[in-house]
Amino acid sequence: MEAYLNQLEEAKKRDHRKLGRELDLFSFHDESPAIPFFHPRGMIIYNELIRYWRAEHEQEGYEEIRTPMILRDELWKQSGHYAHYKDHMYFTQLGETQFAIKPMNCPGSTLVYRNAQRSYRDLPLRLAELGLVHRHELSGVLHGLFRVKAFTIDDAHIFCYGDQIETEISGVIRLILRMYRTFGFNEVAISLSTRPKESMGADAIWQQAIQGLEAALKHNKIDYHVNEGGGAFYGPKIDFEVTDSIGRDWQCGTIQLDFMMPERFGLEYVGVDGKMHRPVMVHRAVFGSVERFYGVLVEHYGGAFPLWLAPVQVKLATISEKQAEGASAVHEQLKAAGIRSEADIRSEKINYKIREAETKKIPYVGVIGAKELETNSVALRARGGKDLGQVKIDALIEKLKEEIKNKA
Ligand SMILES: [Zn+2]
């Protein structure tokens, strides 16, 4: 009971809507209900997340694509979204033609696949897309960044054949877990959802797919629970749920096999036998919704972002106006080294400046007085008040760069 009450208390303090306002990260406006406006500081975090995501995906052999946000009605009829998802979609008309604003990235990626003749040698083809989607939700269920009407899925569609499923899924699992660890999400609950009663596709391919998923999980020595019959009607899936710093669980990543969409869009590849075959399509996301993951991170860190994500990484605070010029020069030096610094040269008391940096949860404060100016150093303080003593500017730059590089 006590632990639960503590968690509630902590959750209130960490509410990302409150911190988003206090740290000037994002806002919401009636002019576009439930769609976030990211501010300059908030965009720094957003872009760092994307930069990290791109680097990881590039390393894993993904190729990035971008597909249109507005696509003709016919496409959504063909994909089945019109029949099953229409109430959650936005539409627009251009001239005589009816278009839908994409609620998912998959149909667009099938058009890229189909744009060339594919052979078994081209597979697996890993097409990644940071796709902005719009989904109409009832306003009652909206909650800050956790449920918005427009968000970016850190999507990828892997086109492969049956024998490749295990290796591909294995790669995705390792990527997801590695990326979660970077954020300190070491506790991840994984579930495997199998064939539901109402589903499509031959038994043999379902069996092969589920065996592939199971083998990939076992190969990575992963504990998981089986959600019997919980898969989508078009294929089985694996879901990832992370536990945050105060013990709450968040469903984020997912890996879904899909036999339906390749069928509906007539996707093919030339096999070893020279005949045409259907590829399997894997839909997968690490963050899920980037916006929601962002909200989870704000609460997980309580706004105290690690150095690599912090909008301002170090604040330089002068003791008197005599150090204004020197502090500005240090600021330029840090900026040139790729470090996000801010020089506070106002004629405020130093304690006031330090307190303000604490409120803004800035990782480091470098105090510059007469002595520091003379020795080309700062009196360094870490967030939370830890005194790190006098540090030369060169050493400070090295220290910060190292910490940023390691995503410590
Ligand atoms: Zn998809």
**CATH code, domain with 211:** 3.30.930.10
Kindly give the distance from the C-alpha atom of residue 33 to the centroid of ligand 1, in angstroms, as a whole number.
26
Cβ-proximal residues to 343 (8 Å cutoff; 6+ apart), any chain:
315, 316, 318, 327, 328, 330, 331
Domain count, the chain: 2
Structural domain harbouring 394: 314-405
Angle (CA) 117-79-202 rounded to 5° is 80
Q: Which two tokens stand for residue 286?
A: 């690490």
Kindly give the distance from the C-alpha atom of residue 89 to the centroid of ligand 1, in angstroms, as a whole number.
16
Q: Which two tokens stand for residue 181?
A: 């660890």
User: What CA–CA distance (Å, rounded) separates 73 from 97?
Assistant: 8
Region of 221 on the Ramachandran plot (φ > 0 left; ψ -120 to 50 alpha; else beta): left
400 & 343 share domain:
yes
49 & 182 share domain:
yes
291 & 323 share domain:
no
Q: What are the φ and ψ backbone dihedral angles of 232, each rounded to 5 degrees? A: -80, 160
Q: Where is the domain boundary, 267, 301, 335? A: 301
292 & 318 share domain:
no
pTM of the predicted protein model: 0.95
Helix, strand, coil percentages in the chain from 3-state DSSP, rounded to 5: 40, 25, 30
Residue 80 domain-assigned (yes or no): no
pLDDT of residue 160: 96
pLDDT of residue 244: 93
Residue 94 domain-assigned (yes or no): no
Kindly give the distance from the C-alpha atom of residue 161 to the centroid of ligand 1, in angstroms, as a whole number.
17
Residue 275 domain-assigned (yes or no): yes
Kindly give the distance from the C-alpha atom of residue 227 to the centroid of ligand 1, in angstroms, as a whole number.
21
Kindly give the distance from the C-alpha atom of residue 36 to the centroid of ligand 1, in angstroms, as a whole number.
23
What residue ranges of the chain have pLDDT lower than 70? 139-142
Kindly give the distance from the C-alpha atom of residue 244 to the centroid of ligand 1, in angstroms, as a whole number.
26
Q: What is the CATH number of the domain that holds 384?
A: 3.40.50.800
pLDDT of residue 292: 96
pLDDT of residue 142: 60
296 & 320 share domain:
no
Kindly give the distance from the C-alpha atom of residue 157 to the centroid of ligand 1, in angstroms, as a whole number.
6
pLDDT of residue 333: 97
Residue 76 domain-assigned (yes or no): no
CB 101 within 8 A of CB 92: yes
Residue 372 domain-assigned (yes or no): yes
329 & 400 share domain:
yes
Kindly give the distance from the C-alpha atom of residue 143 to the centroid of ligand 1, in angstroms, as a whole number.
24
Q: Where is the domain boundary, 273, 301, 329? A: 301
